[in-house]
């Protein structure tokens, strides 16, 4: 049986995250339904990450063993006929039998979108957090630089997480502006529960003047969740890229 690596993108608005749940609709369930229609049996699908309720993905990778492989074009085209408009495949290839979408992933890039327009805008509402007051993206980008490197990010992990090791390496963290949008882009070897959304909330505190850019190292060092900002809404968060090459992850 060929082992396939399928790449999809999805709007997570109406889904309770990736992983199958008993009493809630998830991306994995809908994708498995489509795969079953194509291949004729319920296949075990391995996802690259556990995205939360309402989080979106520009790139999400899954691996699964299929009874046959009709090639990329026919696989993607057929699956897209069975998938709803808010979940679509865009790449597929055969990989080695030992490949696993989650365990072979060496890093991820997330984008958090903040709509910084003065007034409400229906075209940003589903996919960004609205903050109408002034944001100095240059000062925020200076704050972002403090997140780069290997640190204990316990202060940026939501209560209730059962993860014991809270040390992660952030390769790149930057804040840029595109018109009325402020984009937070973070690339690392792994992320804690709600880590990016809490970092985004901390940047809102910097924008407000409640926190200074130079306070970030002290917040990290505190390892205290109460020192960091609020957890911003899931709708602004996108899993943007999944890395399977360490050279690409590290920018080599």
Would you please indicate which residues are annotated as catalytic (active-site) residues? 52
Q: How far apart are CA 121 and CA 135, in angstroms?
A: 17
Q: What 3-state DSSP class applies to 159?
A: coil
Strand extents, DSSP E, 154-203: 167-178, 181-188
Q: Which single residue is written with the structure tokens 């903050």?
A: 131
Q: Work out the burial of residue 191: count CB atoms within 10 Å of its CB; fewer than 13 is exposed, 13-18 middle, 19 or more buried.
A: buried
User: Can you name the residues that pair with 46 across neighbouring β-strands?
Assistant: 63
Please give the backbone phi and psi of residue 218, each rounded to the nearest 5 degrees, phi first.
Answer: -70, -35
Q: Is the distance from CB of 242 to CB of 108 less than 8 angstroms?
A: yes
Q: How wide is the angle at C-alpha 34 spanned by C-alphas 31 and 38, nearest 5°?
A: 135
Q: What 3-state DSSP class applies to 82?
A: helix
Q: How far apart are CA 108 and CA 80, in angstroms?
A: 25
Q: What 3-state DSSP class applies to 22?
A: coil
Tokens of 106: 């060496």
Q: How far apart are CA 152 and CA 35, in angstroms?
A: 40
């Amino acid at each position: 049986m060929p082992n396939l690596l399928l790449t999809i993108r999805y709007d997570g608005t109406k889904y309770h995250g990736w992983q199958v749940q008993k009493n809630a609709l998830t991306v994995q369930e809908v994708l498995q339904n489509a795969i079953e229609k194509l291949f004729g049996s319920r296949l075990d699908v391995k996802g690259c990450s556990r995205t939360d309720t309402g989080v979106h993905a520009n790139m999400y990778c899954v691996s699964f063993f299929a009874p046959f492989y009709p090639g990329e074009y026919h696989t993607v085209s057929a699956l897209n006929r069975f998938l709803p408009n808010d979940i679509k495949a865009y790449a597929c290839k055969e990989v080695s039998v030992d490949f696993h979408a989650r365990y072979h992933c060496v890093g991820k890039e997330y984008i958090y979108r903040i709509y910084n327009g003065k007034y409400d805008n229906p075209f940003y509402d589903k996919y960004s957090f609205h903050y109408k007051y002034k944001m100095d993206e240059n000062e925020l980008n200076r704050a972002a630089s403090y997140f780069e490197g290997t640190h204990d990010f316990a202060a940026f992990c939501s209560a209730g997480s059962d993860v014991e090791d809270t040390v992660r390496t952030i390769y790149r963290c930057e804040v840029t502006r595109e018109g009325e949008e402020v984009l937070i882009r973070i690339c690392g070897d792994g992320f804690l529960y709600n880590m990016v959304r809490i970092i985004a909330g901390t940047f809102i505190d910097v924008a407000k003047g409640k926190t200074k850019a130079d306070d970030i190292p002290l917040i990290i060092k505190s390892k205290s969740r109460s020192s960091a900002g609020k957890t911003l809404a899931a709708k602004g968060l996108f899993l943007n890229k999944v890395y399977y090459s360490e050279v690409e992850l590290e920018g080599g």
